[in-house]
Structure 1
Amino acid sequence: MILTAQGFPSDTHTRVVAELNPHQLTESISEATLTVRWFAGETSEAPPEFSFHYADETGQDFGWHHEPNPHVEEWGHYQEREMAGSEYSYESRTFSSMNPSRVVWEVLALLDSKT
């Protein structure tokens, strides 16, 4: 599913942008990206903050986030923009784990069912 991945900034890699294989997603796109951000928190007791955000040239723009957002009560949420330039819609989302590798697999399965 992932063709390339590059971390930004180069010294800390707090953001990774992955180029996705569009042929595994759908036949109607030629390029797509998944941008991942993960912050462990200030202390070991602090919940992690993360986002997995998909975008492609057709204007699809959606993602799964675990971070404070005034549009939802809990940290976990899914957000989607119906068309380029429109406002995001939000819905609460609970993740099965806060373990980074488990969240990656969960989001990749959600992405596969969404595209």
Structure 2
Amino acid sequence: MIKEEPGTVPMASTVISIGSETPVRDYVVWSLFNTVFMNVCCLGFIAYAYSVKSRDRKIVGDMTGAQAHASTAKCLNICALVFGGLTTIICIIVLTTYKGF
């Protein structure tokens, strides 16, 4: 324990706690890309709808809701990208191996 000398003033300190909230990504651009180019079973459009919902929740201040909608949009975007890529690859394989032309 530190002893203070008589006649001295103890030092005061102020601690400012700044909340480090991680920004919630809404995946609107990725969803728009999947809507325009890889809209297999309308997954891109549904992902776009969830992305817009996530952005709306973020503007209102509901970060939990925004994160939930963003997570759903991310999963739908991944599915749309995988299914769209597989469909494109299968079409290329079928068209290049088909000897009927």
What's the TM-score, normalizing by structure 2? 0.28
Greater share of helix residues, 1 or 2?
2
Q: Which has the larger radius of gyration?
A: 2
Report the structure, 1 or 2, having the larger strand content: 1
Structure with greater contact order relative to length (CA < 8 Å, sep ≥ 6):
2
TM-score, normalization by structure 1: 0.25
